[in-house]
A = this chain, B = another copy of it.
Amino acid sequence: MSEQIDVDFGDTGLVPAVAQDADSKDVLMLAYVSPEALDKTLETGRAHYYSRSRDELWEKGASSGHTQSVREVRVDCDADTLLYLVEQEGGACHTGHESCFYRTIDGETVGTKVFDPDAVYE
């Protein structure tokens, strides 16, 4: 029988988590996760992260409605990075794009805009 993997939260107490659309496989965003955020994610099935700037646990989409239903959580070989396979409601990015990775390094927009941020965030 397999056992839950012991995640290495290191000195900062946080690990990066990549959110990937479970169906399209698009990489949607990267955010940070605390032990409590991971517990909440596993407990509720909705993606939780830890905001380094606001210094608090947050549930993705709690204010925008753009929640992430988590189908699976994966751990990398060193157990210091997570991968959330999610079903994304609306768009993942606060700019209105489906993915936060909507630009190439050359500044070309390659991602799709799926909502109007002015209508969502007041």
Contacts and interface: CB of A to CB of B under 8 A. Distances in A.
Instruction: Give the oligomeric copy count.
Output: 2
Interface string A22-35: 00111101100000
Interface residues of A, number: 40
A115 interface: no
Tell me the interface secondary structure of chain A in the complex.
Answer: loop
Nearest to A20: B27
Contacts of A114: none
Contact of A102 (B38, B77, B81, B110): B77
Interface of A: 2-5, 7, 16, 18, 20, 24-27, 29-30, 38, 42, 72-78, 81-83, 93-95, 97, 100-108, 110
